[in-house]
C-alpha cells in the first residue's frame, strides 16, 4: 500500500491504496465520485475520461503510483467551471444525451478540447472526441452540442 496526495476538483485528497490501483477505481470507490464511468477498462471507449493537469486521459490507465501531486478534474467538477457549465447546458438543449452512460466522458473530452481550441472546426471536434464511444445513437447531436457550447462561450 502507498499513500498518494493529489487534487480532485480543487480539493486536496490523500488516499492509501495499492500502487497499481487505477485512478478510475480510486475516484469511484474511495472518493465516491461515481460520475466517472467504466466502459471497456482498457482505454478504448472514453467513458472514464477525466482531466489530469488539464489534459484528457483515460482514468482506467492511470495508476496510483503516478498520481502524486496531480490535479484531476472530473465530471462532478464541471458545474463550477465556465466551459463545463456551457457544455452541460448545450448537451441538454441539443438532445445529445440518450442513456447517458458515455456522457461524462464526452463532456470531459469536450472540456479539454474547448479549453485548448475555443472555436473548433467540425474536424477538430471529431478529432477531440475520437476517443469516446456512444453505443445508443450517433454522434451528430453530440457534435452539435459542442459546437453550440463553443459559440455561446465565444459571445
Partner 1 sequence: MREIETVAARTLDEALDVLARRGDGIRVIAGGTDVIVQELERRKEARALLSIGGIGALRSITEDGGRVRIGALVTHREIERSPVIRRRAPLLREAAFIVGSPQIKNLATIGGNIANASPVADSVPALMALEATITLASRRGERRVPVAEFATGPGRTVRRPDELITEVSFDALPPDSVSFYERLGQRRLLSISKVGVAFRARLRDGRFAGVAVALGAVAPTVIMAPRTAAALEGERYSPEVAGRAARAAEEESRAITDLRSTSDYRNRMAGALLVRGLARVMEGRG
Chain residues in the site for partner 1 (CB under 8 A): 2, 18-22, 41-44, 46, 49, 52, 55-58, 60-63, 65-66, 68, 109, 112-113, 127-128, 130-132
Task: Please give the Cα distance from 108 to 51 (Å, whole number).
Answer: 7
Nearer to partner 1, 2 or 13 (CB): 2
Q: Alpha carbon of 129 to those of 11, 45, 81, 137, 142: distances in Å?
A: 27, 11, 19, 15, 9
Q: How far is the CB of 138 from partner 1 (least distance, A)?
A: 15
Nearer to partner 1, 1 or 155 (CB): 1
Task: Please give the Cα distance from 15 to 8 (Å, whole number).
Answer: 12
Task: Please give the Cα distance from 8 to 52 (Å, whole number).
Answer: 9
Q: How far is the CB of 76 from partner 1 (least distance, A)?
A: 18
Q: How far is the CB of 77 from partner 1 (least distance, A)?
A: 17
Nearer to partner 1, 33 or 52 (CB): 52
Angle among Cα 81, 40, 88 to the nearest 5 degrees reads 20
Rg (CA), the chain: 15
Nearer to partner 1, 40 or 92 (CB): 40
Q: How far is the CB of 155 from partner 1 (least distance, A)?
A: 26
Nearer to partner 1, 3 or 95 (CB): 3
Q: How far is the CB of 37 from partner 1 (least distance, A)?
A: 13
Task: Please give the Cα distance from 15 to 136 (Å, whole number).
Answer: 35
Amino acid at each position: 500500500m502507498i499513500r498518494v496526495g493529489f487534487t480532485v476538483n480543487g480539493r486536496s485528497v490523500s488516499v492509501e491504496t495499492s500502487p497499481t490501483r487505477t485512478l478510475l477505481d480510486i475516484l469511484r470507490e474511495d472518493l465516491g465520485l461515481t460520475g466517472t464511468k467504466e466502459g471497456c477498462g482498457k482505454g478504448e471507449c472514453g467513458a472514464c475520461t477525466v482531466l489530469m493537469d488539464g489534459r484528457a486521459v483515460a482514468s482506467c490507465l492511470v495508476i496510483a503510483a503516478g498520481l502524486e501531486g496531480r490535479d484531476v478534474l472530473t465530471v462532478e467538477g464541471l458545474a463550477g467551471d465556465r466551459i463545463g457549465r456551457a457544455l452541460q447546458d448545450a448537451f441538454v438543449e441539443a438532445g445529445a444525451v440518450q442513456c447517458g452512460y458515455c456522457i461524462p466522458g464526452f463532456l470531459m473530452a469536450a472540456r479539454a478540447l474547448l479549453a485548448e481550441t475555443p472555436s473548433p472546426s467540425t474536424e477538430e471536434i471529431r478529432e477531440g472526441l475520437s476517443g469516446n464511444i456512444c453505443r445508443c445513437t450517433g454522434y451528430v447531436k453530440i457534435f452539435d452540442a459542442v459546437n453550440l457550447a463553443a459559440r455561446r462561450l465565444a459571445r
